Structure 1
Amino acid sequence: MAPTAVAMAMFTACSPTKKEETSTGKPIKLVVVEPGHFHAALVQKQMYQDVDSVVHVYATDGPDVNAYLAAIERYNSRPENPTQWNEQVYKGADFIEKAIGDKSGNLVILAGNNQKKTDFIKRSVDAGLNVLADKPMAINPEGFELLKQAFASAKEKNVLLYDIMTERYEVTNALQRELAQSAAAFGELQKGTPKDPSIVKESVHHFYKFVSGQPLVRPQWFYDVEQQGEGIVDVTTHLIDMIQWAAFPETVINYESDVELGEVKRYPTKLTLDQFKASTKADSFPAYLTKDVKDGVLDVYANGEINYKLKGVHAKAVVIWNYQAPEGTGDTHYSIMKGSKANLIIRQGKEQNFKPVLYIEPVGNAADYEAQLAEAFKAAQDKFPGIELKKIAKGWEVVIPQKYDTGHEAHFAQVAEKYMGFLKEGKLPEWEVPNMLTKYYITTEALKKAQKK
């Protein structure tokens, strides 16, 4: 997506005006399949113009679907801007067969158990249904092969398969991408080395957190890497996506010729039974987790690092999961892109009040750089009105108006809005599918390599 479209999406997601329909002219009707992750509900945190308010839900009976339905009820009953979703629910072991057979809608929303997700994707597109899936769409090499088949089937059936990449809608990410394309402000993207990569993205997450003002209850299976996926194939999908999206915007990337995998790492987060209980509300570790419990402590391989070359540029993606953020903090993100004239850095630590802030730090002492930056920054201001440069010791801070800080939860609606636009057009941008395949090739191959150590 071009940066201009990112800026526009900041506003349109909250108050859509265009008619949402598929390229066949049929209104969009949602089908939610086995919602096991809170992201399924976040897609429905707002209504969409002319998207049918009746949502058909197919799931096994249990706490996962009940948590999803409770979240929808909270959205429907909130005092300000309540939603009006009418959830029609089928619960049964044959839920996927019913969902495909009933064809009660034309857009399947998938956010749940990742062990099953790739199969659900394939079966949905085989049935001629569009699919908007939470990340990751594949968690191992076998899943990647099935995902390739799913994309081939989607092309044959003329339906659209897309994953929910919310980080493209975070304004500091969008501005970093915008400025990286400016020869005057950034120069040329450096190649870097394995020890000093040109692009680094690091994401820190927490198992115990609050979502929509409520303590998040994780499904027990979330802690089983065979069902959720290891960290190296889960959150890293966002980081790999950001690297591709920012460094090579709207460019087709071929995983067979443009990717060279380097060093990879994986290591566990250790959780006590009390921490597991607080997060899941379960009384004990389920039987399928006993393989990962040592001396009463659960090892969750949620942490990973991928070093690789993308079109000759050295990059690194790091994901870290802690149990709970310190008081007053939350998930954090660090990102650097190194140019010949300046480095573009996003920091989100204590100094930034745990809000992402974009910095421009010049390389060397070019006397005329400040004038070049000021001129180049005007183009960014045209696309993001109200942003300013603030001089600091090491360079400049990009001051961003509050109106752009829509929050992570709002990004799900922004992704959905963008995807619905693709449905209306009847196609994805040319680069999206090959780049999704590249992303999942990198994560699943990195997992295979890390597990051999």
Structure 2
Amino acid sequence: MNVKPRLLTGVCLSTLFLTLSCSTEQKMETSIPTTFEGKENEIKLVTLDPGHFHAHLVKKASYPQVDPQVHVYAPAGPDLQAYLAAIESYNTRAEDPTDWKMEVYTGADFLEKMVSEKKGNVMVTAGNNRNKTKNLLAAVKGGFHVLADKPMAIDPEGFNVLKEAFEEAAKNDVLLFDIMTERFEISTILQKEFSLVEEVFGTLQSGSLEEPAVTKESVHHFYKTVSGKPLQRPGWFYDVTQQGEGIVDVTTHLVDLVQWECFPGKIIDYTKDIEMINATRWATDLTLEEFTRSTGLTEFPEYLNPYIENGILKVYGNGEINYKINGVHAKVSVIWNYVAPEGSADTHYSIMRGSKANLVIRQDKKENYRPELYIEPISSTGLKEFQDTLFAAVQKLSAKFPGLGVVKVTDANAWRVEIPAEFRTSHEDHFREVTEKYLEYLVDGKLPDWEVPNMIAKYFVTTSALEMAKK
């Protein structure tokens, strides 16, 4: 699609039936507030380069505080078209439709245009990661609050730019925050809650390299369904210089959860509290047929040539990181397969080892690929007393999670946590939940004291691991 640098109108995108501004010379607003009180429509969104489906999942719901008028700055092409089509599907769905109104600018100078026009006060971005960190820096320098998809940095150079971005955000009194959806998964929330019950969990163990105190493993799939439709990924998603390797991408969530669960509310200083041990990476092989099914492209783009061997595309989406945080051994790993077996989906495994019990999340075939939390006492003696203590803990937690229960696992010294259905929200719902939390922070005018240093620590772990794995 060849479009001169200008605002796209509803005529230009008539196939999407979107309500777009027809003005190419709108006057700049003299002042858009960057402090908030929770009033209706006070958040004015701009979206930058929405090349990843997470960009539209943030807008799958409406928010009273957020103005439905959204200014989009992006290069013209299939990524933008897919984003706009998804927004239109939310606007026209039968149940609880949204009312987003999109004004789009597609000039090559879209970043500079966004900063100079300043038509909003909060920038949302989820897309190609090659320039994302520099874009974040430009946005906070321009006075935008920023809600960014992970990863915010994909290499050590990006990590240094990200640190600068946080410094600039503090100078300009704006909030730079990444979208950590997995904090809203109920099995993870309850794993954290039970780890705080010393009578049941005891204390977090130090562990060892061979048996880490906390392990988090994630399995993802290149070909999947999102919002009820097969996901069509952009070709650049398979270029690790644009998307980032798996060891700096999905592991962002896992490293975040290690910090969030094991050391809640505590500031992590990466210069003192983190010790990197080792890291590895390996590739997933994709045929051209599989690539075509995922992207709609009939040939491998030239930028993928360095990763093609004998007609097979090698995508470094897999990785493992072993490190110590505050003296505790942790391991995170990610695996990318092409497609999930019939009836399955992305999966998550996690264990926190306590002095009295282990807290284990499993999401395999036995659990019908739904994450379930198990409580497994360390000792096989005194199980009746342990059960009584566990029941008492569940009773207390029920005040916060009504309907919560536990059931003994047949022929095993373990209990499965019974999670009420109303607490089981989907991965797509988590984008709404994390956005609502960010809106609360905007009204507060600050992030919790631990958020920024812990984001920096998180990206230190992932980018350092990439450097380590490549040696």
Higher mean C-alpha deviation, range 442-451 or range 383-392: 383-392
| Residue in structure 2 matched with residue 429 of structure 1 by the alignment | 448
Does the alignment pair 1:387 with 2:404? yes
Whole-angstrom distance in 1 between the partners of 2:266 and 2:396: 21
| In 1, Cα distance between equivalents of 2:65 and 2:160 | 36
Per the alignment, residue 18 of structure 1 pairs with: none
Query: d(CA) in 1 for partners of 2:381 and 2:337?
Result: 41
Provide, for residues 408-450 of structure 1, a one-character-per-residue CA deviation record: whole Å limited to 9, x for no partner.
Answer: 0000010000001000010000000000000000000000010
Partner of residue 35 from structure 2, selected from 23, 32, 39: 23
- Measured against aligned partners, the alpha-carbon deviations of 1:109-152 in whole angstroms (never above 9, x if no partner) come to 01000111101100000001000000000000000000000000
Q: How does 1:241-256 map to 2 (within 5 A)?
A: 241-256=256-271
Picking from 113, 124, 127, the partner of 1:98 is 113
Matched residue SS, 1:382: coil
**Structure 1: which 5+ runs fail to align?**
1-20
Letter in 2 for 1:418: K
String of CA shifts for 1:284-318, please: whole Å, max 9, x gaps: 01111000000000000000000000100001001
Q: Which residue of 2 aligns with 1:373?
A: 390
Deviation at 1:376, TM superposition (A): 1.9
Given the alignment, which residue of 185, 192, 197 partners 2:212?
Answer: 197
CA distance in 2, matches of 1:379, 1:199: 25
Q: How many residues align?
A: 432
Secondary structure, counterpart of 2:50 in structure 1: coil
Instruction: Give SS of 1:226's match.
Output: coil
Partner residue in 1 for 2:326: 311
Task: Please say which of residues 165-174 and 371-380 is displaced more in the overlay.
Answer: 371-380
SS at match of 1:390: strand
Residue 34 of structure 1: aligned partner = 49
Deviation of 1:378 (Å): 2.2
Equivalence map 1:265-304=2 (5 Å): 265-304=280-319
In the TM superposition, residue 50 of structure 1 has moved relative to its aligned partner by 2.9
Structure 2, gaps ≥5 residues long: 1-32
Q: Does 1:414 align with 2:433?
A: yes
- Which structure has the larger Rg over C-alpha atoms? 2
Counterpart CA distance in 1 for 2:289 and 2:233 is 14
Q: Distance in 2 between matches of 1:379 and 1:325?
A: 38
Supply the distance in 1 between the matched residues of 2:250 and 2:63 (Cα, whole angstroms): 27
Please name the residue that 2:101 is paired with. 86
Write the letter of the residue equivalent to 1:415.
Answer: V
CA contact (8 A) 1:31 1:57 kept: yes
State the SS of the aligned residue for 1:326: coil
Letter in 1 for 2:333: V
Q: Segments of 4+ in structure 1 off by > 4 A?
A: none
CA distance in 2, matches of 1:379, 1:342: 18
Q: 1:166 deviation in Å?
A: 0.2
Amino acid at match of 2:445: G
Alpha-carbon distance change, 431 to 366 in structure 1, aligned in 2, over 3 angstroms: farther
The alpha carbon displacement at 1:203 in A equals 0.2
Aligned equivalent of 2:462: 443
Residue 257 (structure 1) aligns with: 272
* Contact 2:146 2:175 (C-alpha < 8 Å) held by counterparts: yes
The answer to whether structure 1 residue 163 and structure 2 residue 178 are counterparts is yes
In the alignment, what sits opposite 2:74? 59
Amino acid of the residue matched to residue 408 of structure 1?
A: H
**C-alpha displacement of 1:211:** 0.2
State the partner residue of 2:254: 239
Distance in structure 1 (CA, Å) of the matches to 2:200 and 2:362:
19
CA distance in 2, matches of 1:383, 1:317: 29
Moved more, 74-83 or 386-395: 386-395
Deviations 1:30-70 (A, max 9, x none): 10000000000000001001310100000000000100000
Counterparts of 1:111 and 1:438, CA distance in 2: 21
Equivalent in the alignment of 1:344: 359
The question of whether the paired residues in 2 share the 8 Å contact of 1:180 and 1:186 is answered with yes
Provide the TM-score with structure 2 as the length reference: 0.91
Which amino acid counterpart does residue 389 of structure 1 have in structure 2? V
What is the CA–CA distance in structure 1 between the aligned matches of 2:114 and 2:35, rounded to whole Å? 22
Post-superposition CA distance 1:232-251 (Å, at most 9, x none): 00000000000100000011
Contact 1:175 1:380 in 2 (8 A): no
For residues 34 and 112 of structure 2, the distance between their equivalents in structure 1, rounded to whole angstroms, comes to 23
Select which of 343, 346, 349 maps to 1:334: 349
Q: Which amino acid aligns with 1:229?
A: G
Q: 1-side partners of 2:245 and 2:36: how far apart?
A: 39
- Equivalents in 1 of 2:54, 2:403: separation in Å? 31
1:42·1:409 contact (CA, 8 Å) conserved in 2? yes
- Work out whether 1:179 is the aligned partner of 2:198: no
- Post-superposition offset of 1:22: 5.4
Q: Is the 8 A contact 1:233 1:444 kept in 2?
A: yes
- Provide the TM-score with structure 1 as the length reference: 0.94
AA of the residue aligned to 1:194: L
- Is residue 189–residue 338 contact of structure 1 (8 Å, CA) maintained in 2? yes
Structure 1 residue 377: Cα displacement: 2.0
Q: For the residues of structure 2 that align with 1:270 and 1:118, how far apart are their CA atoms?
A: 28
Q: Find the aligned partners of 2:398 and 2:462 in 1 and give their Cα distance.
A: 35
Residues in 2 aligned to 1:445 and 1:306: alpha-carbon distance in whole angstroms: 10
1:11 is matched with which residue? none
Mapped partners of 1:325, 1:87: distance in 2: 35
Aligned sequence identity (%): 56
Do the aligned residues in 1 keep the contact of 2:205 with 2:355 (CA within 8 Å)?
Answer: yes
> 1:337-384 CA deviation, whole Å, 9 max, x = no partner?
000100000000000000000000000134222222122222321111
Letter matched to residue 35 of structure 2: S
**Mapped contact 1:22–1:425 kept (Cα < 8 A):** no
Instruction: Quote the Cα distance in structure 2 between the aligned partners of 1:215 and 1:125.
Output: 35
For the 8 Å contact 1:22–1:424, the answer to whether it is kept is no
Contact 1:22 1:426 in 2 (8 A): no
- Structure 2 Cα separation of the partners of residues 300 and 46 of structure 1: 33
